[in-house]
């Protein structure tokens, strides 16, 4: 039962998904959390956790792959090629914030993605295409590199996700706060 390719019953699939979700949530808050802490957060015993995932590395690999797939799905769902660049940016940021734990889990600690093959890592094509479209349409500064703009945006998204997760930033104001900071900077 330790591989994701095996066919699981509905109950087993639910348990596996709960363990992965708990892993993402717990490790987003504490990257060194133990398996017993993760099992408790998932509402399962350690034996059950080990039945699905034989060791911590396997669990983290599966949680990483699941998170990459979910973040990719959210990015595609944001339809960043439709509407104005500002509207598309709003949808993209909102979609990423809806998965704050996953964003923090994947990107806060560079070691999480370290052993993931480059072709399996989250790609930035959607974000980069949006930035370039925004530059072409005169919405984003053309005198800054698209890479710099993308890095600034993703840094704000990551920090916004972390602040929502810790309660430093209210979820209902996070998108507006990130977009205001990104689009206008911090000048008064």
- Domain span(s) for CATH 1.10.357.10 in the chain: 66-186
Q: Which CATH class is domain 66-186?
A: mainly alpha
Q: pTM here?
A: 0.89
pLDDT for 45-62, tens place per residue?
999 999 999 999 999 999
pLDDT for 130-173, tens place per residue?
999 999 999 999 999 999 999 999 999 999 999 999 999 999 99
Contact indicator for 122, 72 with CB cutoff of 8 Å: yes
Quick one: DSSP state of residue 185? Answer: T
What is the CATH number that goes with domain 8-54?
Answer: 1.10.10
Measured CA to CA, the distance from residue 180 to residue 186 in angstroms comes to 8
Q: Is 21 exposed, middle or buried (0-12, 13-18, 19+ CB in 10 A)?
A: middle
Site of tokens 């909102």: 94
- Domain span(s) for CATH 1.10.10 in the chain: 8-54
């Amino acid at each position: 039962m330790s591989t994701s390719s095996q066919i699981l019953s509905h109950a087993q699939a639910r348990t596996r998904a709960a363990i992965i979700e708990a892993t993402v949530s717990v490790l987003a808050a504490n990257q060194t959390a133990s398996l017993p802490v993760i099992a408790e957060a998932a509402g399962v015993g350690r034996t059950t956790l080990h039945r699905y995932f034989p060791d911590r590395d396997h669990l983290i690999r599966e949680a990483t792959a699941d998170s990459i797939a979910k973040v990719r799905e959210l990015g595609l769902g944001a339809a960043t090629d439709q509407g104005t660049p500002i509207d598309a940016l709003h949808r993209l940021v909102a979609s990423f914030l809806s998965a704050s734990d996953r964003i923090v889990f994947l990107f806060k600690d560079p070691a999480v993605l370290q052993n993931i093959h480059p072709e399996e890592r989250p790609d930035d094509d959607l974000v980069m295409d949006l930035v370039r479209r925004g530059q072409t349409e005169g919405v984003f500064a053309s005198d800054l590199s698209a890479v710099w703009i993308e890095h600034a945006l993703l840094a704000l998204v990551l920090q916004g996700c972390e602040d929502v997760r810790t309660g430093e930033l209210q979820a209902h104001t996070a998108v507006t706060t990130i977009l205001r900071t990104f689009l206008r900077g911090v000048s008064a």
